[in-house]
Structure 1
Amino acid sequence: MNWISALADLQQRGEAAVLVTIIEERGSTPRNAGSKMVVSAEKLYDTIGGGHLEYKAQQIAREMLEQRSREPRLERFSLGASLGQCCGGATVLLFEPMGQPQAHIAVFGAGHVGRALVPLLASLPCKVSWIDSREAEFPESIPAGVEKVLNDEVVDEVENMPAGSYFIVMTHNHALDLELTAAILKCNDFAYFGLIGSDTKRAKFEHRLRDRGFASETVQRMRCPMGIAEVKGKLPVEIAVSIAGEVIATYNATFGQEKASGENSVAKLLPVSRRAPPAESGA
């Protein structure tokens, strides 16, 4: 598969990749400027000439994928001196993250609020895992970029989410909500955790979590009720908009901090080389 077909296929499936382009060539090089390849977490599509250069480019691209980098990156390579290739020339590569989600979101619950919320999240630069044990609750059509996860033991899915993930819990069962809450707080490596319900539900959960030994500062990280308070209403779509707004505000705040730090910015490299009300489970 050539790079453009591969990129379209990966983006359709919501899978992140890095587009690598030769933007400058000096002397003898294996391929000309403009040549491209696409690197996903597991595969390589097309080529920039093979050899050690391509191997190093794959390493850099996969490091960017692991770090969920969102900024382009430039790297200069001397083919003879540093890479031991017989060409002997030099080349500059541009690494561009493609389809890299700004957030990994786990939505637990495929009830009426979940069905209103997931399409909203799917339209954002996020990777969404939609989790429930009830096959019949999922709609026939799942939005593009959303992974439907059917598991009788939904709590097990907490450990499958990467650090820094966003958790939204809105199942049909209070007891299940509590077990999910305990599992999420035990990991305590999330960017956001929202639990649907009322202030009364929160107070009950806080008491039960303290009995289980959870520290107060850890429990305080739980958003319940979740969502933007100014967005009123009890319709599923109103609740969904409120929750989505809070999630967006959270990852926008995080993204802004990363931008301010200047990590992986092209400008930094150029001189060298060129951020609710009760519903599904009630109060």
Structure 2
Amino acid sequence: MSLDLPALREAVAAHGRVVRILVVTVAGSVPRDAGTSMLVWDGGEDGTIGGGELENQAVREARAMLAGEPGPFLRTVPLGPALGQCCGGAVTLAWERFDAASLPDALPHARPLAGTSGAGPLVELRPGARPVVRDGWLIEAGPAPGRPLWVWGAGHVGRAIVNVLAPWPGVAVTWVDLGPDRFPSSVPPGVTTLPATEPPALVRYAPGNADHLVLTRSHELDLQLCHALLHHGFASLGLIGSATKMGRFRSRLTALGHTAAQISRIACPIGDPSLGKHPQAIAVGVAAALIRAAGTSGQCQDKDATG
């Protein structure tokens, strides 16, 4: 993950002064990866750098900065010797205080750490690159584009999937249904909603590398979307339903001219059937499959664990 400038600006606009805690580098087994960050303000916070005593002490430092302590500064924390956490690795954290006058104008963003003077180094960072400390300067890139995910249908399962996946920085969600009234009154930040009386007509606008989840309330519309997507191309295509539904779709899609190899790329049912059929259970299974496909993994990931 990298600096989420819109989220930082929103937090500063809402709370005035904000301290950002950033995981700059990691070694060994640690709760979160380099580039992970959280925001702290008077009376609240957002995000997590891994929970446990590491986060507890880091937030305490952040509140001291809000009260006037100088910054920004770096500190390397060995999790076992210093905090008694069993992860056993070490993390280097940065604390920075922001207000309306000190917000970055653009990315990449370089700023001197406490006690540093002189011009900053020239470092080129690709979007999504981990933060770099060079010659006393902290440098961050912008976030990498999220993996495109198109969710077709805003019913119970669609809402559960969007709510589970929207906070994950690895995905950029586009949500389609028949009209504005189909969507909830509050849509998660970063999700693009597309009301359309003819959803299959939007397939042409989807990136060829997008993942798709087809889960409308109409089997006929589901079929039309699968037909259009098989012609268009995709990274993956999941269809809500049962083996019986898939069997019927296979027959009808064959009649529409699709080959057995093409049709076999449709995953139906979606998620992990062993988790059950509750919308949240389906959403958890779908999210796990997408994150696994994106190659995301880690150790000691429980937010509230002591490590």
* Cα deviation, residue 229, structure 1: 3.2
The residue that corresponds to 2:94 in the other structure is none
CA contact (8 A) 2:110 2:140 kept: no
* Cα deviation, residue 199, structure 1: 0.3
* Cα deviation, residue 149, structure 1: 1.1
* Cα deviation, residue 178, structure 1: 0.6
The residue that corresponds to 1:150 in the other structure is 195
Partner-residue secondary structure (3-state), 2:273: coil
CA contact (8 A) 1:168 1:195 kept: yes
* Cα deviation, residue 208, structure 1: 0.9
Residues 197-208 of structure 1: matches in 2 within 5 Å?
197-208=241-252
The one-letter amino acid of 2:128's match is R
* Cα deviation, residue 220, structure 1: 0.8
Root-mean-square deviation over aligned CA pairs: 3.6
The residue that corresponds to 1:71 in the other structure is 129
Q: What CA distance in whole angstroms lies between the structure 1 residues aligned with 2:257 and 2:141?
A: 45
Structure with a larger share of its residues in helix = 1
Q: What CA distance in whole angstroms lies between the structure 2 residues aligned with 1:205 and 1:234?
A: 21
Q: What CA distance in whole angstroms lies between the structure 2 residues aligned with 1:136 and 1:152?
A: 12
Residues 1-283 of structure 1: matches in 2 within 5 Å?
8-9=8-9, 19-21=107-109, 32-33=119-120, 70-71=128-129, 96-98=141-143, 100-125=144-169, 126-188=171-233, 190-231=234-275, 233-252=276-295
Provide Cα deviations, 1:22-42, integer angstroms capped at 9, x if missing partner: 69xxxxxxx931799xxxxxx
Q: What CA distance in whole angstroms lies between the structure 2 residues aligned with 1:117 and 1:19?
A: 31
Q: What CA distance in whole angstroms lies between the structure 2 residues aligned with 1:19 and 1:159?
A: 31
Distance 1:148 1:6, change over 3 A: closer
Distance 1:236 1:216, change over 3 A: same
Superposed structure 1 runs of 4+ greater than 3 Å apart: 3-12, 69-74
* Cα deviation, residue 222, structure 1: 0.6
CA contact (8 A) 2:157 2:283 kept: yes
TM, length-normalised to structure 2: 0.54
Q: What CA distance in whole angstroms lies between the structure 2 residues aligned with 1:22 and 1:181?
A: 46
Q: What CA distance in whole angstroms lies between the structure 2 residues aligned with 1:243 and 1:122?
A: 13
Distance 1:5 1:173, change over 3 A: closer
TM, length-normalised to structure 1: 0.58
Report % sequence identity: 33
Q: What CA distance in whole angstroms lies between the structure 1 residues aligned with 2:248 and 2:122?
A: 60
Partner-residue secondary structure (3-state), 1:105: strand
Distance 1:5 1:186, change over 3 A: closer
Distance 1:156 1:136, change over 3 A: same
Unaligned runs of 5+ in 1: 13-17, 24-30, 37-56, 75-93, 257-283
Q: What CA distance in whole angstroms lies between the structure 1 residues aligned with 2:159 and 2:110?
A: 44
CA contact (8 A) 1:109 1:132 kept: yes
Q: How many residues align?
A: 194
The one-letter amino acid of 2:8's match is A
Q: What CA distance in whole angstroms lies between the structure 1 residues aligned with 2:109 and 2:168?
A: 26
Provide Cα deviations, 1:189-210, integer angstroms capped at 9, x if missing partner: x222100000011011111111
Provide Cα deviations, 1:18-77, integer angstroms capped at 9, x if missing partner: 823569xxxxxxx931799xxxxxxxxxxxxxxxxxxxx8xxx8xx6xxxx533699xxx
Q: What CA distance in whole angstroms lies between the structure 2 residues aligned with 1:203 and 1:245?
A: 25
CA contact (8 A) 1:21 1:34 kept: no
